[in-house]
Amino acid sequence: MPKATPLWKRILRVLGLTTLICGTVVGAVCWLYWDEVERLIQPHWQEFAHGKVLEAASRYGANLPEVDEVRLKLLHEVPTSSSDKSYEPPGSDETYYVIKEKTVTGEEARAIAVLWRHLIWDQGGGAACFQPHHMVEFRNRGKTILESAVCFHCSRVTLPILLRSSTIGVVFGEGIKLPGKPTPYPLEMALDVHLGPYIPPPRKQR
């Protein structure tokens, strides 16, 4: 006589079949009535996503953990020399080139972190260009806390939100007035001290 199938195996088969049937039914209903399902889900998803943005802004903004090292990169749309390395900033699909990089430690690193913690997070702020020319990586004890691409043109930076890097608007603070020059932000000035200012590439002659 064939050996009887153990009870636990039969239970697992029934559960697996039930799960498959339920999943198929739910999938079919969602496909047939997707517009209605989307209408019901969208407000809850927007509220959930909004909460995650606020959570990231709090965790990586005012509550950025202690840092002992900051790695900086100055990015350019085109290479300026054969030694420039290609780099894809977080939150961007474009390839940039690292024309200068520097690692700062100790008090200099903590000073940059203080400026970062004083940023004001503004989800609706900023334009939509997002052409980051700076990368800031905050580290502590050899581990990366945050790697963020920064665009001072549209006032947006990237933060890890929902398992990926997304852009969020910021208010960089009151600029310092300099006669006959654009008004730089405190964070921008601090990065310029270490990397030098970003100089746009010359326009191609037609």
Residue 174: predicted pLDDT: 56
In the chain, what is the greatest distance between 2 CA atoms, to the nearest angstrom?
98
Residue 3: predicted pLDDT: 65
Find the length of the chain.
206
Question: Long-range contacts for 79-84 (Cβ within 8 Å, ≥24 apart)?
Answer: none
Please name the residue that has the structure tokens 């030098």.
196
pLDDT in tens, 123-182: 655 456 788 999 999 999 999 999 999 998 888 899 998 778 888 888 776 544 445 555
What is the sign of the dihedral through the CA atoms of 183, 186, 188 and 191?
Answer: positive
Closest among 136, 135, 137, 126 to 94, alpha carbons compared: 135
Residue 200: predicted pLDDT: 78
Q: How many angstroms separate the CA atoms of 5 and 14, rounded?
A: 13
* Tokens describing residue 202: 């010359």
Closest among 145, 141, 140, 152 to 192, alpha carbons compared: 152
- What whole-number percentage of the chain has pLDDT above 90? 36
Closest among 185, 94, 101 to 135, alpha carbons compared: 101
pLDDT in tens, 47-84: 887 888 889 889 999 899 999 999 999 999 988 888 89
Alpha helices (runs of H) in the chain, residue ranges in sequence order: 7-32, 34-57, 106-117, 186-195
Task: Name the phi and psi angles at 83, rounded to 5.
Answer: -90, -5
Q: How many angstroms separate the CA atoms of 196 and 173, rounded?
A: 20
Lowest mean pLDDT among 30-39, 74-83, 94-103, 148-157: 30-39
Q: How many angstroms separate the CA atoms of 148 and 68, rounded?
A: 17
Q: What is the model's pTM?
A: 0.74
* Tokens describing residue 72: 């900086």
Domain ranges of the chain: 64-195
